[in-house]
Amino acid sequence: MEIEVLRIGQRIVRDDRVTTHVALVARSFGAQKIMMNEVNPEIKETIQKINDTWGGKFSVEFIDSWKPVIKKKKQEGYKIVHLTMYGENINQIQSKIKKEEKLVIVVGAEKVPREIYEFADYNVAIGNQPHSEISGLAILMDRIQEGSQFNKVFSGGKRTIIPSKNGKNVVMKETRD
């Protein structure tokens, strides 16, 4: 499955760390890229450093406006999944979403434009209680990929973790400078 993430509605500074965590989830759970507007440009550098260290080709794309992006993606055959605590319960809807081939997952911050609900092919609630866009994105991606994202190899990084029962085991391809 091809997955891209669109982050909207965040406020600069106040939401920077949350947006960074959203980007890190998108990357580590196997999305190809995250698209964002109105965002601190440092987030792109942070993610680039993570790629350098831990591998993979995940990309951050700055956009001007979300609406033309969604329209274009729909024309290209992507289905739009909007995460919202008001949507359909993931437990009920996941089997349908799992069958899609190309997804754009829209991750809003506190306020999202009303139109998103109409543009979306799926409005999905990761439970109907408030938690976090970070956990929401993670659960959606885990469910629709059935955990296979955690077996994926991120190639080209400087370090690789070897899973360990009680310590840290890291293979370094380069010494630290």
Q: Which CB sits closer to a second copy, 64 or 166?
A: 166
CA-based nearest residue to 18, from 107, 86, 102: 107
> Which residue in the set 75, 155, 164, 175 belongs to the binding site for a second copy (CB under 8 A)?
164
CA distance 105 to 35: 10
91 binds a second copy (CB under 8 A): yes
> Which residue in the set 5, 33, 123, 144 belongs to the binding site for a second copy (CB under 8 A)?
123
CA-based nearest residue to 24, from 62, 6, 50: 50
Q: Which CB sits closer to a second copy, 68 or 127?
A: 127
> Which residue in the set 39, 83, 103, 138 belongs to the binding site for a second copy (CB under 8 A)?
138
Q: Which CB sits closer to a second copy, 58 or 78?
A: 58
> Which residue in the set 130, 155, 172, 177 belongs to the binding site for a second copy (CB under 8 A)?
130
Stretch that binds a second copy, among 35-43, 68-76, 80-88, 103-111 (CB under 8 A): 80-88
171 binds a second copy (CB under 8 A): no
- Total binding residues for a second copy by CB under 8 A? 53
Any residues with CB less than 8 A from the CB of 36 and at least 6 apart, and which? 6, 7, 8, 10, 19, 23, 43, 60, 61, 62, 63
Subset of 26-65 contacting a second copy (CB under 8 A): 27-29, 50, 54, 56
151 binds a second copy (CB under 8 A): yes
CA angle 60, 65, 67 (to 5 degrees): 110
> Which residue in the set 5, 8, 24, 106 belongs to the binding site for a second copy (CB under 8 A)?
24
